[in-house]
Structure 1
Amino acid sequence: MIKVYSTDSCPWCVKVKNYLKSQNVEFEDLNVQDDMIAREEMIKKSNQMGVPVLDINNNIIIGFDKSAILKALAQ
Protein backbone atom coordinates (compact mmCIF):
# COMPACT_ATOMS: atom_id res chain seq x y z
CA MET A 1 0.00 0.00 0.00
CA ILE A 2 1.32 3.39 -1.02
CA LYS A 3 0.14 6.50 0.78
CA VAL A 4 0.75 10.08 -0.29
CA TYR A 5 0.21 12.70 2.40
CA SER A 6 -0.51 16.00 0.67
CA THR A 7 -2.41 19.29 0.65
CA ASP A 8 -4.39 21.02 -2.08
CA SER A 9 -2.03 24.01 -2.24
CA CYS A 10 1.25 22.07 -2.52
CA PRO A 11 2.80 22.09 -6.04
CA TRP A 12 5.26 19.29 -5.14
CA CYS A 13 2.34 17.12 -4.02
CA VAL A 14 0.80 17.49 -7.47
CA LYS A 15 4.14 16.58 -9.09
CA VAL A 16 4.50 13.46 -6.92
CA LYS A 17 0.96 12.28 -7.65
CA ASN A 18 1.32 12.96 -11.39
CA TYR A 19 4.62 11.06 -11.42
CA LEU A 20 3.11 8.04 -9.67
CA LYS A 21 0.17 8.08 -12.09
CA SER A 22 2.59 8.26 -15.05
CA GLN A 23 4.29 5.12 -13.68
CA ASN A 24 0.89 3.37 -13.30
CA VAL A 25 1.38 3.17 -9.53
CA GLU A 26 -1.79 3.04 -7.44
CA PHE A 27 -1.75 5.08 -4.25
CA GLU A 28 -4.00 6.45 -1.55
CA ASP A 29 -4.07 10.25 -1.45
CA LEU A 30 -4.48 11.57 2.09
CA ASN A 31 -5.21 15.29 2.37
CA VAL A 32 -3.62 16.33 5.67
CA GLN A 33 -5.21 19.75 5.32
CA ASP A 34 -8.67 18.26 5.94
CA ASP A 35 -7.94 14.89 7.58
CA MET A 36 -6.63 15.34 11.12
CA ILE A 37 -6.09 11.57 11.60
CA ALA A 38 -3.96 11.42 8.43
CA ARG A 39 -2.04 14.51 9.59
CA GLU A 40 -1.20 12.89 12.94
CA GLU A 41 -0.22 9.66 11.16
CA MET A 42 2.08 11.58 8.80
CA ILE A 43 3.74 13.50 11.64
CA LYS A 44 4.27 10.29 13.62
CA LYS A 45 5.86 8.56 10.60
CA SER A 46 8.01 11.45 9.32
CA ASN A 47 8.57 13.64 12.40
CA GLN A 48 7.69 16.70 10.36
CA MET A 49 4.81 18.79 9.07
CA GLY A 50 5.98 19.40 5.48
CA VAL A 51 4.36 17.72 2.49
CA PRO A 52 4.51 15.68 0.39
CA VAL A 53 5.33 12.64 2.48
CA LEU A 54 5.14 9.21 0.84
CA ASP A 55 4.84 5.88 2.61
CA ILE A 56 5.87 3.17 0.16
CA ASN A 57 5.88 -0.22 1.88
CA ASN A 58 6.93 1.44 5.16
CA ASN A 59 9.69 3.45 3.44
CA ILE A 60 9.07 7.09 4.36
CA ILE A 61 10.06 9.55 1.63
CA ILE A 62 9.90 13.28 2.26
CA GLY A 63 9.39 15.49 -0.76
CA PHE A 64 9.57 14.55 -4.43
CA ASP A 65 12.71 12.39 -4.41
CA LYS A 66 12.41 10.44 -7.65
CA SER A 67 15.39 8.13 -7.00
CA ALA A 68 14.11 7.26 -3.51
CA ILE A 69 10.63 6.61 -4.91
CA LEU A 70 11.99 4.29 -7.61
CA LYS A 71 14.15 2.46 -5.06
CA ALA A 72 11.20 1.98 -2.68
CA LEU A 73 8.94 0.79 -5.50
CA ALA A 74 11.54 -1.80 -6.54
CA GLN A 75 11.55 -3.46 -3.11
Structure 2
Amino acid sequence: MTPALKLYVKVWCPWCVRAQEWLDERGYQYALIDVEKSRADYDEMIRLSGQRLTPTLVTADGLVLPDFGPDELAVFVKKYSISP
Protein backbone atom coordinates (compact mmCIF):
# COMPACT_ATOMS: atom_id res chain seq x y z
CA MET A 1 0.00 0.00 0.00
CA THR A 2 1.29 3.46 -0.93
CA PRO A 3 1.55 5.90 2.00
CA ALA A 4 -1.03 8.69 1.98
CA LEU A 5 1.67 11.29 2.64
CA LYS A 6 4.69 12.37 0.62
CA LEU A 7 7.47 14.28 2.36
CA TYR A 8 9.78 16.14 0.00
CA VAL A 9 13.16 16.82 1.62
CA LYS A 10 16.79 17.70 1.18
CA VAL A 11 18.55 15.20 3.45
CA TRP A 12 20.97 17.78 4.91
CA CYS A 13 18.16 20.22 5.78
CA PRO A 14 17.66 20.47 9.58
CA TRP A 15 13.96 21.35 9.15
CA CYS A 16 13.52 18.22 7.04
CA VAL A 17 15.16 16.05 9.69
CA ARG A 18 12.86 17.56 12.32
CA ALA A 19 9.81 16.90 10.15
CA GLN A 20 10.83 13.26 9.71
CA GLU A 21 11.40 12.86 13.44
CA TRP A 22 8.03 14.43 14.25
CA LEU A 23 6.18 12.14 11.84
CA ASP A 24 8.14 9.04 12.95
CA GLU A 25 7.56 9.71 16.66
CA ARG A 26 3.81 9.79 16.03
CA GLY A 27 3.69 6.73 13.80
CA TYR A 28 2.92 8.38 10.46
CA GLN A 29 3.71 6.47 7.29
CA TYR A 30 5.02 8.56 4.41
CA ALA A 31 7.01 8.34 1.23
CA LEU A 32 10.31 10.17 1.68
CA ILE A 33 11.38 11.96 -1.49
CA ASP A 34 14.89 13.44 -1.68
CA VAL A 35 14.51 16.24 -4.21
CA GLU A 36 18.25 16.45 -4.72
CA LYS A 37 18.36 12.93 -6.15
CA SER A 38 15.80 13.57 -8.86
CA ARG A 39 15.19 16.73 -10.83
CA ALA A 40 11.75 15.37 -11.76
CA ASP A 41 10.83 15.05 -8.06
CA TYR A 42 12.13 18.56 -7.38
CA ASP A 43 10.09 19.94 -10.29
CA GLU A 44 7.02 18.04 -9.05
CA MET A 45 7.42 19.55 -5.57
CA ILE A 46 7.65 23.03 -7.09
CA ARG A 47 4.57 22.40 -9.23
CA LEU A 48 2.56 21.17 -6.23
CA SER A 49 3.69 23.76 -3.72
CA GLY A 50 4.54 26.81 -5.80
CA GLN A 51 7.90 27.17 -4.07
CA ARG A 52 11.39 25.62 -3.83
CA LEU A 53 11.80 25.16 -0.08
CA THR A 54 11.80 21.94 1.93
CA PRO A 55 10.33 20.24 3.79
CA THR A 56 7.10 20.04 1.83
CA LEU A 57 4.32 17.65 2.79
CA VAL A 58 1.67 16.53 0.30
CA THR A 59 -1.38 14.41 1.12
CA ALA A 60 -3.13 11.94 -1.17
CA ASP A 61 -6.01 14.45 -1.31
CA GLY A 62 -3.70 17.13 -2.72
CA LEU A 63 -3.29 19.23 0.42
CA VAL A 64 0.14 20.85 0.56
CA LEU A 65 2.16 22.17 3.50
CA PRO A 66 5.30 23.87 2.17
CA ASP A 67 8.37 25.07 4.10
CA PHE A 68 7.25 24.24 7.62
CA GLY A 69 8.45 23.54 11.13
CA PRO A 70 7.05 21.13 13.73
CA ASP A 71 4.50 23.64 15.05
CA GLU A 72 2.99 24.23 11.61
CA LEU A 73 2.99 20.47 10.96
CA ALA A 74 1.06 19.83 14.18
CA VAL A 75 -1.55 22.44 13.24
CA PHE A 76 -1.83 21.05 9.68
CA VAL A 77 -2.47 17.42 10.69
CA LYS A 78 -4.96 18.50 13.34
CA LYS A 79 -6.81 20.92 11.01
CA TYR A 80 -7.24 18.25 8.33
CA SER A 81 -7.72 15.30 10.71
CA ILE A 82 -4.71 13.46 9.33
CA SER A 83 -3.96 10.55 11.61
CA PRO A 84 -1.13 8.00 11.54
Normalising by structure 1, report the TM-score: 0.89
Kindly indicate whether the alpha-carbon contact (under 8 Å) linking 1:61 and 1:69 is maintained by their aligned counterparts in 2.
no
What root-mean-square deviation, in Å, do the aligned CA atoms of Structure 1 and Structure 2 show? 1.2
Which of residues 62, 65, 70 is equivalent to 1:61? 65
Deviations 1:9-56 (A, max 9, x none): 110101111111111010000000111111011000011100000002
Alignment of 1:37-48 (within 5 A): 37-48=40-51
Computing the radius of gyration over CA atoms, which structure comes out larger, 1 or 2?
2
1:71 is aligned to 79
Matches within 5 A, 1:1-75: 1-57=4-60, 58-62=62-66, 63-64=68-69, 65=72, 66-72=74-80, 73=82
Which portions of structure 1, spanning 4 or more consecutive aligned residues, are displaced by more than 2 angstroms? Answer: 69-72
Larger mean Cα displacement after TM superposition, 26-35 or 54-63: 54-63
Please list every run of 5 or more consecutive structure 2 residues that lacks an aligned counterpart in the other structure. Answer: none
TM-score (norm 2): 0.80
- Matched position secondary structure for 2:7: strand
In structure 1, runs of 5+ residues without a counterpart are none
